Structure 1
Amino acid sequence: MILSFDLDDTLISNKFELEKTNFLQRILGIECLRKGTIDLFKELKKQKHQIYIYTTSHRSESRIKWMFYSYGIAVDYVINQQKHQQKLRNTNIYSSKFPTVFNIDIHVDDSMGVEAEGKKYGFKTIIISETDKNWTQTILKKI
């Protein structure tokens, strides 16, 4: 199964507990990941899922991949705002995310708006709250 994850306020934020960073990450200004991300991604890989990052930010693909690599996590594919816009350019779809066009089975996000888009355009979402202390279990149970 292909799972995609949003970045801002889903995996990256100062609103929830964060993974520990090392000296090199701090020096290089690597963004801090939500606590539990490393173990969750390792478990998903163990279960043979592919992990995509699907963000509406303009961060470069290499920056995103390097951030996860610095935590010992390899992501399979990165979709940023540029790739999203390019893929949807000649369609009549006006959605902030459209995982189906990238063959994504389930998209994980924090936005209720993305959940509404999923219902409208027929893609599956798992919406997690910044206050959900058991967010990784929420995801594992729903997939």
Structure 2
Amino acid sequence: MIISFDLDDTLIPGIKQFPTEQRGIWQKLFSREKIRAGTIELMKALKAREHRIFVYTTSYRSPAYVRRLFFSYGIYPEKIINKTLHDKTLRQKAALISKYPPAFNIDVHIDDSAGVAIEGDRHHFNTIIVAENDIHWVNHILQQIADHRDSR
């Protein structure tokens, strides 16, 4: 399966705050941002289960920047979809929907926004919503991905 992750307030703290991975010299050199604690474990577990990992963000961060950020933690997302690529791919529809994973063959999108879950219901795509204070978020995602895979 192809699984995508939102960045802001899902994997990168912003308005929502959560514990982050330890930062060493490489993380400080490659990025000013931190990633959510458990991200490394989750990404490695998903890769071990042969899932493909994408990042799907409505930010204008460059794909190169996002790759460097994750690379510094030993994580290698296969594709980075930012607002520029979203708009280019969806054209006029881009103004009507914040994210549309089916346009990129994504099976499940993971986000923090209840609004994205509503869009998923309305436009028939699968979402997993991560709560800011969910200390077991990694296990919850792995279980929901397994449930989704089994239901296919």
TM-score bin, normalised by smaller chain: over 0.9
1:30 to 1:72, Cα distance in 2 relative to 1, 3 A: farther
Aligned residue runs from structure 1 range 119-130, under 5 A? 119-130=121-132
Contact 2:86/2:94 (CA < 8 Å) preserved in 1?
Answer: no
Write out per-residue CA displacement over residues 11-65 of structure 1, whole angstroms, 9 at most, x where no aligned residue. Answer: 0005000000102322444411100000100000000000000000000000001
TM-score, normalised to structure 1, is: 0.95
Structure (1 or 2) with the greater helix fraction: 2
Aligned residue runs from structure 1 range 7-86, under 5 A? 7-13=7-13, 15-86=17-88
Query: After the TM superposition, which parts of structure 1 deviate over 6 Å for at least 4 consecutive aligned residues?
Result: none
5+ residue gaps, structure 1:
none
Instruction: Using the aligned pairs only, state the percent identity.
Output: 46
Residue 121 of structure 1, CA deviation: 0.4
5+ residue gaps, structure 2:
146-152
Q: Report the aligned-residue RMSD.
A: 1.4
Q: Is it true that 1:3 corresponds to 2:3 in the alignment?
A: yes
* Alignment partner, residue 117 of structure 1: 119
TM-score, normalised to structure 2, is: 0.90
Alignment coverage as a number of residue pairs = 143
Q: Which is further off, 3-12 or 81-90?
A: 81-90
Letter in 2 for 1:63: Y
Partner Cα separation in structure 1 for residue 86 and residue 29 of structure 2: 31
Aligned residue runs from structure 1 range 91-106, under 5 A? 91=93, 94-106=96-108
Partner Cα separation in structure 1 for residue 91 and residue 29 of structure 2: 38
Contact 2:31/2:68 (CA < 8 Å) preserved in 1?
Answer: no
Letter in 2 for 1:8: D
SS in 2 for 1:86: helix
SS in 2 for 1:125: strand
Partner Cα separation in structure 2 for residue 93 and residue 81 of structure 1: 11
Letter in 1 for 2:6: D
